[in-house]
Structure 1
Amino acid sequence: MPTVTIRSAVEADCATILRFVRELAEFEREADAVKATEEDFRRDGWGEQPVFEALIAELDGAPVGFALTFRNFSTWEGRPGLYVEDLYVTPDARRHGVGRKLLAAVAQRAVERGYRRVDLSVLDWNPARGFYDRVGFRQMKEWLPYRLTGDALSALAAEGDAGA
């Protein structure tokens, strides 16, 4: 039986994280959408003010997956939470409990820090939805994701020049 270990990512993992992000983007049919670089991960994960954390999953010592999280905040709970931006396990490593162990490590971090929840988003066609259901996540059907980006983001930001 292969051995699965989960560890905190270190700065030397930036290339591995970028590789996993690219593989995930390919799976999500957005291979050309990744603009991130190793330097972006280095700066924002290990710079003066880190904005994310990552966990690396290893199968018999080889990296096979990761979870990248950042802190969010619930005004209703009055407490922080963790948002899972990306969870990815290489196809050959699936069915070894790697994803579950990654999410268990994320949950452990949240509980140890007194956070009240872990959030994530998943594409409607992604077969991993069944996995998330089995782990205990619940789809929030009444909440719809919205995103502001590109020209619309710039246009709205320009309105803020009035002294916000």
Structure 2
Amino acid sequence: MELVFRTIKPADAPLLKEFLELAMEFSGDEREHNMNKYLEDWGKRVDIGFIVLLKQEKKPIGAVWFRQFTEKNPGLAFVDEKTPEMIAAVSPDYRNQGIGRYLITRLVNQARMEGFRALSVAVHKDNPVLGLYERLNFQAEREDGSIKVMRRVL
């Protein structure tokens, strides 16, 4: 399986919505409100991310990105205004093959190069990906109901 990684562009917003739906683990009005926060006006602020595609089919199979939020308008994994929140998702058929690890590592390295000091992520406590975050040195910051907020110092 040959993969191609590329930077997310503003035109990728519909594709990001598909991956965000895979990443969001709750439903209802809160889900829609939070989804909009992570997609709205993509690329018009300090938005950084990557998409991975199957080379031959040019089929997107994963994405990772981050956004910064304010204390007045926080995201799910808000820690502070200097720590961007990361979103990562891999299509179900391609999980457990190291793709998520590679995407997250690539974003962590990019965030470090951009001068950020940390990244945060919100993950459901029962999600198996929690172990991956722990192996990638994300530390528990707090728990909000069934969601664990984790932070990775860069």
Same fold (TM over 0.5): yes
Question: Which structure shows the bigger proportion of residues in helix conformation?
Answer: 1
Task: Tell me how far apart the structure 1 counterparts of residues 105 and 15 of structure 2 sit (CA, whole Å).
Answer: 21
Residue 56 of structure 1 is matched in structure 2 by 51
Number of residue-to-residue matches in the alignment: 130
Task: Tell me how far apart the structure 2 counterparts of residues 29 and 115 of structure 1 sit (CA, whole Å).
Answer: 29
Indicate if the aligned counterparts of 1:56 and 1:65 stay in contact, CA closer than 8 A.
Answer: yes
1:138 maps onto 2:136 in alignment: no
1:8 maps onto 2:7 in alignment: yes
Question: Which structure shows the bigger proportion of residues in strand conformation?
Answer: 2
Q: Percent identity?
A: 23
Question: What secondary structure sits across from 1:46 in the alignment?
Answer: coil
1:83 maps onto 2:78 in alignment: no
Residue 46 of structure 1 is matched in structure 2 by 43
Task: Name structure 2 gaps, 5 residues minimum.
Answer: 71-80, 146-154
Task: Tell me how far apart the structure 2 counterparts of residues 83 and 52 of structure 1 sit (CA, whole Å).
Answer: 10
1:103 maps onto 2:114 in alignment: no
CA deviations 1:2-34 (Å, max 9, x no partner) are 123322111221221112222333xx2427733
Q: 1:29 to 1:118 in 2, by over 3 A?
A: closer
Q: TM-score scaled to structure 2, two decimals?
A: 0.68
CA deviations 1:121-160 (Å, max 9, x no partner) are 21111111111112221223xx3459xxxxxxxxxxxxxx
Q: CA RMSD in A?
A: 2.9
Greater CA radius of gyration, 1 or 2? 1
Task: Name structure 1 gaps, 5 residues minimum.
Answer: 74-78, 147-164
